[in-house]
Amino acid sequence: MSKSKGRLQELFLNAIRKQKVRVDVYLVNGVKLEGKIRYFDNFTILLKEGPRQVLVYKHAITTVMPKREIEFVYPEQEEGEISED
């Protein structure tokens, strides 16, 4: 994985975690998980839904969809620059 791809993933997941945004996580087998990201590293994401915690391996994930728009700076943006999208 290139450094820029890893950086985007890190920025995206960290913004979701810090803003405590609920997410839908779709797995390669079609299962949909819901919850908040509590922790992530290079290989796993820890989701929390109520009292339940689920450790998901990233290689099993196809899509991470936040339930609302999140605020984060894209790697190619400078601090304070606003995206036109």
Q: So where are the chain's domains?
A: 3-66
Q: Is the predicted pLDDT of residue 78 greater than 60, yes or no?
A: no
Grade residue 3 by pLDDT with cuts at 50, 70 and 90.
low
CA triple 79-5-67, angle to 5 deg = 75
The predicted model scores a pTM of 0.78
Q: Is the predicted pLDDT of residue 5 greater than 90, yes or no?
A: no
What's the fold here for domain 3-66?
Answer: SH3 type barrels. (2.30.30)
Q: Which residue has the higher pLDDT, 44 or 75?
A: 44
Provide the pLDDT for residue 55: 98
Burial track 12-21 (b if 16+ CB lie within 10 A, e otherwise)? ebebbbeeeb
